[in-house]
Homo-oligomer: A and B are copies of this chain.
């Protein structure tokens, strides 16, 4: 079986043909994400027309929560145009189209293409500008009653210290994300112009304050993972996304296992970098037509 995987992000759309074992069977095509729904639909149609004769199914990774039938977007979709959720994805092809949330697609890729087939309980956190969550429970994606599950908005503080992009205060996302690192840097340095980049550069140059900022950010990530490990008793917690390269996996695993009341777990880096969404959507779609 072959699948066309498409990853629709706020700035880029990626597409490639994917085999059942997750191997890419074509080059990855890249497009800038247009600003209007009509233009996005146009690009999707073009991509699908180019590839659909070669594939059995089409899998689309998208921002936003996706319903339990993998056909509709339920929630807001961040950087995409406001009427993006109205796109009728099912009508884009004569082949079956399967859509799923991007963090869930990434989690599915990490789970299904893991060589240890008996690992059926995995938490995947995508640390980028925000934090995405994809959770595998007994070999199934955790979707909840309507498909919106896996949102990493649990509170880290009782006293309204930081407002999250979701509107509420002190969510894990606003501490553990790249935005979180920036806010921690600004708080600890007193410099409102300090950036994530400044912190990473500073750490490279062995700057003490920058190291402390990175540690504080990492401690927030540890605290969040402790809660998730106590809730899910997972085989692995996998960190993915652009910010996941800046953490110390050994230290995190040790700290987490020291505090949890469930059984020991491992915190490890993702296997797939930027292609996790595309590959995950493609193999999930093949699963759905089996």
Contacts and interface: CB of A to CB of B under 8 A. Distances in A.
B261 A153 contact: yes
- Interface of chain A: mostly helix, strand, loop or mixed: loop
A133 B233 contact: no
B262 A226 contact: no
B261 A154 contact: no
A155 B233 contact: no
A151 B262 contact: yes
Contacts of A220: 158
Q: How many identical chains are in the complex?
A: 2
Interface size class, chain A? 35 or more
A226 B168 contact: yes
Contacts of A156: 155, 157-158
A168 B259 contact: yes
Name which of A135, A144, A166 has the most chain B CB atoms within 10 A of its CB. Answer: A144
Interface string A253-276: 000000111110100000000000
A158 B151 CA distance: 20
Given A137-B142, A226-B155, A231 B263 contact: no
A145 B260 contact: no
A235 B137 CA distance: 18
Contacts of A34: none
B228 A154 contact: yes
Contacts of A226: 153-155, 168
A138 interface: yes
6 contacts: A119-B145, A137-B144, A144-B234, A153-B226, A155-B226, A158-B220
Given A146-B263, A151-B231, 14 more contacts: A133-B231, A144-B233, A144-B234, A145-B234, A148-B261, A151-B230, A153-B260, A154-B228, A155-B156, A155-B227, A158-B220, A158-B223, A167-B259, A228-B231
